[in-house]
Every structure is written in structure tokens, then in C-alpha cells.
Amino acid sequence: MVSLACAGRVGLRDDQLMIIDPEVTGEPLNDSALSDLQEHPATYSPLTVQLWASWRGPRRIDRYLTAAVDGGIVKVVTDRESGSKALAVVDPEPIKQAAHRLTAVLDEPAPDIEDIAFAVLADEAGVAGPHLRG
């Protein structure tokens, strides 16, 4: 959503998300986000950024997990006895970069809008707490 906003494809009006340019971007996750915005039922609550993140996240986690697996960041490991699945980190560098990006919002000079949005969304998802002071 942040990259779509920075590209002028989506925006806010009275705290509600709106599509400015619905054309396909060619990037699967961005196109999926645009599609979700277009498919949001009119009978639902107005779509704010917070509501979009909580509404879209659980519906699309498999795409992000697949991207992380395909990118060699994590792998899905199945326990032979119980059949339960867990994630094993293959390449910790992107995770370290994400943690650095989270803490960058606390330092000078002022962070850019993408880093702020990243930290806000990570906090909303409940994964920023260990990295942010206070």
C-alpha cells in the first residue's frame, strides 16, 4: 500500500483509502492490493489504512509466505511425528534489515514516509514491539 501511495495510485480522503489510478502495475502484490480495494464490499465499514491491514492481512498471508520461501528467507519445516509446521529462517539478513528499518524511525534525520509506514504496519501486525523502544 505504501508503494502504491508513493506512486500516486492510492490516497486518503477523510482517513479512508481511495483508488486514484486502478491500472495494473505489473507487480503482483501491488496489483492484489488494488484488486482488494476495488472488491471491498460497499456494505462494509469505510476502508481506513488500519482496517485494510487487518482485513487484508489474514486473507493474503500465503502470498507473503510464498514470497519469503521463494526468496530463500525462510523455509517451511514439517515435524515428522506430529505433522505440525513451523518456519525456519534460512537467511537472517532481510530480517535484520527489517529490524534496522523499524528502529530507523527513532533516529535522526527524520525517516521517509515509506519507513514510517513500514513501522506503523509492523506495529499494527504486532511484530514491531521487540525492536522499538518504549
- Mean pLDDT, the chain, rounded, equals 77
The pLDDT of residue 88 is: 84
pLDDT computed for residue 126 by the predictor? 67
Determine the Cα–Cα distance for residues 92 and 63; give it in Å rounded to an integer: 20
| Residue 124: all three cell numbers together | 499494527
Output 8-15 pairs: Cβ under 8 A, ≥24 positions apart: 9/34, 10/34, 10/37, 12/49, 15/46, 15/48, 15/49
Distance between CA 47 and CA 63 in Å, rounded?
Answer: 21
Other Cβ atoms closer than 10 A to 108: 5
Lowest model confidence (mean pLDDT) among 11-15, 49-53, 55-59, 69-73: 55-59
Question: What mean pLDDT do residues 48-63 have?
Answer: 68
Task: Give the pLDDT of residue 57.
Answer: 62
Q: What is the mean pLDDT of residues 99-115?
A: 74
**Mean pLDDT value across residues 44-53:** 72
| Distance from C-alpha of 97 to C-alpha of 92, rounded to nearest angstrom | 9
Question: What dihedral do alpha carbons 97, 103, 75, 86 form, nearest 10°?
Answer: 170
Distance of alpha carbon 134 from alpha carbon 132, whole angstroms: 6
pLDDT score of 47: 75
pLDDT at 101: 75
pTM of the model: 0.47
Average pLDDT over residues 10-14: 82
What angle in degrees, to the nearest 10, is found between the helix axes of 28-39 and 49-70?
150
Flag whether pLDDT at 134 surpasses 60. Answer: no
